Amino acid sequence: MYKRIKNSLKLKILIPIIAIFFSIGIVIYIITTNSIKTTLQDEFISKGKAILNTLAASVQETILNRDPSSVQGYIDQYRSVEGISFIIILDENNNIIAHTFYPKVPDEYIKLAERKDDGSKKYSDYLSIEEQVLNDRRELVLSRPILNGLLGHIYMGMGIEKRESEIISPLLKRIVIVMFICILLTGVLISVFLDYILRPIHALTKTAQRYASGDKNIERMPIYSGDAVGSLTKTFYMMIDTITKNTVWLEQEVKNRTQIIKDQQITLINASKMSALGEMAGGIAHEINTPLAIISMKVEQLKESVEENDYTPEEIIKSLGVIKSTSDRIAKIVSGLRFFARDGSKMPTDKVAIDSIVNETFSFCLERMKLHGIKVTVIKEANGSELFLDCRAVEISQVLLNLLNNASDAIDSLSDKWIKVEIRDLGEDAEISVTDSGTGITPDIRDKIMQPFFTTKEVGKGTGLGLSISRGIIDSHQGKFFIDETSVNTKFVMILPKSK
Amino acid sequence: MTTQKIGLNKFVLIVDDEKILRDAIQYDFEKKGFTVLTAANGNEAIDILRDNHIDLVVSDIQMPLCDGICLIKKMKIMEPPFPLFLFMSGFSSYTQAEVESMGAITLISKPIDRKEMFRIVEEALAHA
C-alpha cells in the first residue's frame, strides 16, 4: 500500500484532499449537533415548564382530597406526550403518590427524588432543571414543588437523548453521503486533470527511457505550453543535445587516451624486459662463461697431449665428448636468449608447448638458483610437452622468469630454500604455478603487490613493474593471474586457455 | 706447456661447483706434481682444510651454499697458517684489488689462461 502511494502521483494528491474533506465533515458535524442539542434543550425546558405548571395546578386539589387514583389519572394523560419519559409525584413526606412506571419505580429514580429534598425548593415558582443519566440514557429532569412544597413535588423526565438521536442520526447520514459525493467528484476531477497535465510528462519519460537505452535518434515532441512541463521538455532536449555532443567528444578522448595507455604499456613492458635482462645479465654471463672455460681448458689440454704424444684414443674421444656436450650447453642458452630478443607485444600468437616455455626460461635462471642454493623442482601433473597454448611464448616466459626471480629474491635469506613449478591441465585451461618456501604475502600488501611501481626490494634492485606487467601480459592472453591465498607458502598462479 | 714439476710435495685444494672444470684443473695441477684435493663449495673446502695441510687454495667465487668470499672469510678465523689463496671467476662484481685486500694472491678470470695461472702460482710459492 505504502509503495503504491509512493509511486502514484494521483494517490499522493487524493489522500490529503480526502483527509481535508473528512476533517471538514467532522467539524460540521460537531458544530451542528451542538447547536441542535442547545436548541432542543431550550425547547424541552419551555415545554416541560408549561406541562409542570399545568400539572401542579391540576393535581393540587386531588392531593388535598387524598385521592391518589385521580392524581394517577392526571399524569396518565401525559404518558403519550412526545418527549416525556416519566413523571413522579411525591407527597410532602417524600412518599410516592403516583408515577408513570410499571409496575413500580426503579431504585435509581427513588434516589433521585430523595436527593432533591432540601428546604430551598419549597417555592412554587422554583424550577429545578438537571441533566441526569438514568437507566443508561441522558434525561432532562425537571422538578417543581406543589403549593410551595406543602403538598409535595413533581418530577418529570424528558428523553432528550432519544430525541437528539432522532434528529441527529439522519443528519449524520446526510453529511456522510454529501462528503462521499464530494470526495468522489474531486477524485474524478483530479484524475482527469492530472492525466491532462501528466500526458506530456509521460511522453517525455518514454523518450528519456528510449534515449537511456541507447536510441540516439529520438523523435522530438512539439512543445505545447510555456508552463513548467513545457520548460521541462525544452530543458530535456537541450540536455540531450549537450550529452550527445559530450559523448562524441568523450568517445574520441577515450580512444586517444587508450592509445596513449597502450603505447605506455608497450614501453613499460619493454622497459621491464630490459630490467629483467639486466638482472639476468650476470647469470647469463656466468652461465656462458663456465662452459666456455671448460671448452677452452679441454682444448688446450688436448692440444698438449697430442703435442707431447702422451694420449690414448679413448682419452681423446672422452675429452671431445665433454667439449661437444659443453658447447651444446652454450647453444641452448643462446637459443633461449633469442627468445627474448624479439618484441613480444607485436608478435602474433603461436601454438607452443608449455614444456618448451618452462625449459627455455629455466635455461637462464637455473644457474642463478644453483648459486643461491635454491632447489628448483618441476611437478608435472600433466604432460607439459602435450599441453599447448596459443600465446606469445616470449611474454609467458617473461612472466615465469619474473616469478622465479621474485621467488629467489624473496627466499634468499631463508634457511630452507626451494621453488616449485607446477603444471596442471584444467581441461579448458592450463595452469602454471610458482610456489616458493616463503610464508606467503602478508594481507596488507597483497592488494598493492600487483600495482605498478610497488616493490619491496631495495632501491635499484626492482622496478616495481614486474607483477603489474605480468598481469597485463596474462590479461592480454585472456588468462588469470593471481596469488593463491589458500597456499601456506607463497604461490603465484597463471591460468591460460589451452590451444584449441 | 712445460711439464716442470713445480708442485712436488705441495698440496692444492681446488674449489669449484662445476665438476668438469674442477677435473680439468685437477688434471693440470697433477701434471705439475701437486697433490690435489677438491671441493664443490666453501663448506666442503672448510672441512678439508680442517683435516689437511694445504699449501694453496684455488677457488671459484660464485658457488652455492658458501661461495668463495664466504670461504676466505671462514678461513680467516681458522687457526693459522693461512694458505696461499687464488681466486678465479668468470663473471664477478669483485675486482682484483678487492680480492687482494681480502688476502688472496689475485683474481684470474675464466676462461683460464693456464700459463698465466701457473706463472702466478709458481711466483707465489717461491715467495711463500
Beta strands at B11-15 and B35-39: parallel, antiparallel or unpaired: parallel
CA–CA min distance B32, chain A (Å):
13
What tens digit of pLDDT does each residue of A78-88 get? 888 888 888 88
- Which has the closest alpha carbon to A430: A399, A483, A386, A398? A386
DSSP element (H, E) containing A379: strand A375-380
Highest mean pLDDT among A72-86, A397-411, A429-443, B36-50: B36-50
Beta strands at B56-60 and B11-15: parallel, antiparallel or unpaired: parallel
For A405, phi and psi rounded to 5 degrees? -65, -45
Task: Determine the residue of chain B that is closest to A369 in CA distance.
Answer: B64
The residues of A whose Cβ lies within 8 A of any Cβ of B are: 282, 285-286, 289-290, 292-298, 300-301, 304, 308, 322, 326, 370-373
Grid coordinates of A280: 639476468
pLDDT of residue A80: 82
User: Which residues does chain A have within 8 Å of residue B115's beta carbon, measured at their own beta carbons?
Assistant: none
Tell me if A58 sits within 8 A of A74, measured CB to CB: yes
Tell me if A393 sits within 8 A of A427, measured CB to CB: no
CA–CA min distance B128, chain A (Å):
27
- The residue with greater pLDDT, B5 or B20, is B20
User: Which residues does chain A have within 8 Å of residue B22's beta carbon, measured at their own beta carbons?
Assistant: none
What tens digit of pLDDT does each residue of B76-117 get? 898 878 899 999 987 777 888 999 999 899 999 888 899 899
- The mean predicted confidence, pLDDT, of chain B is 89
On the question of pLDDT at B35 being above 90, the answer is: yes
Task: Determine the residue of chain A that is closest to B62 in CA distance.
Answer: A371
On the question of pLDDT at A384 being above 70, the answer is: no
Confidence band of A341 (pLDDT split at 50, 70, 90) = low
Tell me if B116 sits within 8 A of B88, measured CB to CB: no
User: Which residues does chain A have within 8 Å of residue B20's beta carbon, measured at their own beta carbons?
Assistant: 294, 322, 326
Name the least confident of A46-55, A129-138, A267-276, A376-385: A267-276
pLDDT of residue A114: 64
Grid coordinates of A73: 389519572
The whole-model pTM stands at 0.44
Name the least confident of A156-170, B7-21, B28-42: A156-170
Beta strands at B84-89 and B107-109: parallel, antiparallel or unpaired: parallel
User: Which residues does chain A have within 8 Å of residue B62's beta carbon, measured at their own beta carbons?
Assistant: 286, 371
Question: What is the interface pTM, i.e. ipTM, of the complex?
Answer: 0.86
Strand partners of residue A425: A430
Q: What is the dihedral of CA A197, A202, A204, A205, to 10 degrees?
A: 140
From the list A282, A293, A322, the residue facing B111 with the nearest CB is: A293
Q: Which residue has the cell 625449459?
A: A359
Rounded to whole angstroms, how far apart are CA atoms A164 and B49? Answer: 130
CA–CA min distance A285, chain B (Å):
6
Confidence band of A459 (pLDDT split at 50, 70, 90) = very low
From the list A290, A308, A373, the residue facing B110 with the nearest CB is: A290
- Which has the closest alpha carbon to A142: A162, A101, A112? A112
Rounded to whole angstroms, how far apart are CA atoms A423 and A441? Answer: 22
Name the least confident of A160-174, A265-279, A293-307, B21-35: A265-279
Contacts for A53 with CB less than 8 Å, ≥ 6 apart: A144
pLDDT of residue A117: 53
Count other C-beta atoms under 10 Å from residue B41's C-beta: 21
Work out the percent of chain A whose per-residue pLDDT is above 70.
Answer: 87
Task: Determine the residue of chain B that is closest to A372 in CA distance.
Answer: B64
User: Which residues does chain B have within 8 Å of residue A300's beta carbon, measured at their own beta carbons?
Assistant: 1, 114
- The mean predicted confidence, pLDDT, of chain A is 82
CA–CA min distance A329, chain B (Å):
13
3-class state of residue A134 by DSSP: strand
